[in-house]
Amino acid sequence: DTAVSQTPKYLVTQMGNDKSIKCEQNLGHDTMYWYKQDSKKFLKIMFSYNNKELIINETVPNRFSPKSPDKAHLNLHINSLELGDSAVYFCASSQGDLSYEQYFGPGTRLTVT
Amino acid sequence: GQNIDQPTEMTATEGAIVQINCTYQTSGFNGLFWYQQHAGEAPTFLSYNVLDGLEEKGRFSSFLSRSKGYSYLLLKELQMKDSASYLCAVYGAGSYQLTFGKGTKLSVIP
């Protein structure tokens, strides 16, 4: 069984559109994350969320918003997509805070044209 | 601010030992991670060091010196499947302060 899953795996869209990426974990973890990995393979944390608190990396544009319908899901919604948003987006989860091992989903490759 | 340095690329021979270094300058320090990432795949956890010293886990070992802002990942008995990027990440001060280095791409050759 897949521990952390994401859909879609590939997403191609035009500038200005709004899109969502879904993430689910079946590990019973308390905390979920979204990361962006750019073309230079630089992995950057965007959000950290548990059932009590959303922590946002202040450098992330407010066009990006995480939405969590329940503890096992953390979706990423992106408004008004820009060319620079093209990257691979990884969802991850951990049992606790950032001191815990993280389990990553397979990634979603977003291409904005 | 956060600054993490790793060599961009390394090449080593199958069966050999390779050491991948990571130096960091961060505002606060809570621990250091090593992750492995094969091309086109997700990162997978290798190790987490909080205290100074060497931690061994099978063929992989990780070392930390907090006073020097330095860590290394040691891979023994290299196998072809070890060809991957190795990411150093520091958990610093602040709730979202998990900063990744740019990764070291290791190529294992026969």
Cβ-nearest to A106 among B42, B85, B103:
B42
Which positions in chain A touch B41 (Cβ < 8 Å)?
A: 106-107
Q: Is A51 exposed, middle or buried (0-12, 13-18, 19+ CB in 10 A)?
A: exposed
pLDDT, tens digit (0-9, with 9 covering 90-100), for B66-79: 999 999 999 999 99
Per-residue pLDDT band at B96 (split at 50, 70, 90): low
pLDDT for A98 equals: 85
Least confident of A19-23, A55-59, A99-103, B93-97: B93-97
Long-range Cβ contacts of A5-9 (<8 Å, 24+ apart): A5/A105, A5/A106, A6/A89, A6/A90, A6/A91, A6/A105, A6/A106, A6/A107, A6/A108, A7/A108, A8/A108, A9/A106, A9/A107, A9/A108, A9/A109
Chain B residues at the A interface, defined by Cβ less than 8 Å, are: 30-31, 33, 41-45, 48, 50, 85, 87, 89, 91, 95-100, 102-103
Distance from CA of B102 to the nearest CA of A (A): 5
Query: What's the whole-number average pLDDT of chain B?
Result: 94
Cβ-nearest to B102 among A40, A55, A105:
A40
Q: Is A94 exposed, middle or buried (0-12, 13-18, 19+ CB in 10 A)?
A: buried
Average pLDDT for B34-61: 96
The CA-CA-CA angle for residues B88, B94, B95, to 5°, reads 85
Closest chain B residue to A97, measured at CA: B95
The gap between the terminal CA atoms of chain B, to the nearest Å, is 41
Any B CB within 8 A of A95 CB: no
Cβ-nearest to B91 among A41, A56, A99:
A99
Distance from CA of A14 to the nearest CA of B (A): 23
- Interface touch A102/B45, C-beta < 8 Å: yes
Cβ-nearest to B87 among A43, A55, A101:
A43
Average pLDDT for B76-101: 90
pLDDT, tens digit (0-9, with 9 covering 90-100), for A43-71: 999 988 987 788 878 789 999 999 988 88
Mutate to test the interface with B, among A43, A48, A100 (most CBs of B within 10 A): A43
> DSSP E strands: which ranges in B1-110?
3-5, 9-13, 18-25, 31-37, 44-49, 53-57, 60-65, 70-75, 84-91, 98-100, 104-109
Q: Is B68 exposed, middle or buried (0-12, 13-18, 19+ CB in 10 A)?
A: exposed
